[in-house]
Chain A
């Protein structure tokens, strides 16, 4: 009785739940994001319709009535997944922007070269790709939905790994900035000393 479609629904639902929890964990103001839950609300209504048919409560319906509603369930679950994925990706992008804001481009190129060569491009591409998919209403073929969702679940995991890389590097960057500043201070002090000594020599020579 629709075992395959239920397998797909359960997996997408669990993936979405995982992303909702991760997104809320990364929410500094502890605000809930209700939009995916609305999609679940609509999905539940279609489950009830399909089940009403399957358990024999509806007699005068077309043969494909349950199939039609399971397809709608998949559509709502798919959109809930991309709403949750989008929320998490926006949070990650914001965190990357905030974490690296104190450092300029040249400093980052010198002290965190992987950021410009790899991380920046990947964070940008992934967050914009998932943002684009959120707006797509057509969910595609039933047998492709799970593959698409599983692929994007991995992509979101990749984005989380990139954020970890950035966050691990931030204390190192602050240390480098601190040591550069102390070296600059030291150089400035030496220059001032040198200038004072030159002035002293000049003054003596005049005397």
Chain B
């Protein structure tokens, strides 16, 4: 894997993809713990967001429940 250094020409990095960012329990814990250091919406600071796993479970449950 390529090791980046501060000072690399940005043109060399332009075609590097941004890392994909999983929204998981660790993200939630980190956000809540470090919230005083960053600016964000109140919902996010309080950890009030769906993690990928929570949403997938909720979604499968709702889509799998037959309508009355």
Shortest C-beta distance, B29 to chain A (Å), equals 15
Shortest C-beta distance, A48 to chain B (Å), equals 8
Decide yes or no whether B1 CB sits under 8 A from chain A.
no
Assembly CA distance A177 to B14 (angstroms): 65
Interface size for B (C-beta < 8 A) is 23
Assembly CA distance A42 to B41 (angstroms): 20
Among the listed stretches A4-12, A31-39, A148-156, A178-186, which one makes contact with chain B, having 4 or more residues with CB under 8 Å of it? Answer: A31-39
Q: Which residues of B contact A124 (CB under 8 A)?
A: 67
Q: Are B49 and A96 in contact (CB under 8 A)?
A: no
Contact of B15 among A42, A49, A128 (CB under 8 A): A49
Task: Using known A-B contacts A32-B49, A33-B49, determine if residue A93 contacts B62 with beta carbons closer than 8 Å.
Answer: yes
Contact of B68 among A32, A57, A86, A100 (CB under 8 A): A100
Contact of B43 among A31, A94, A105, A128 (CB under 8 A): A31
Q: Are B67 and A123 in contact (CB under 8 A)?
A: yes
Residue of A nearest to B54 (CB): A31
Q: Which residues of B contact A35 (CB under 8 A)?
A: 23, 50, 52, 55
Assembly CA distance A25 to B15 (angstroms): 37
Per-residue B-contact encoding for A35-64, CB less than 8 Å = 1, 0 else:
100100110010011001000011000000
Task: Using known A-B contacts A29-B48, A90-B58, determine if residue A96 contacts B67 with beta carbons closer than 8 Å.
Answer: yes
Decide yes or no whether B4 CB sits under 8 A from chain A.
no
Residue of B nearest to A119 (CB): B67
Per-residue A-contact encoding for B57-68, CB less than 8 Å = 1, 0 else:
011001101011
10 smallest beta-carbon distances between A and B, as pairs: A100-B68, A32-B49, A32-B43, A94-B62, A31-B48, A90-B62, A45-B18, A90-B59, A120-B67, A34-B23
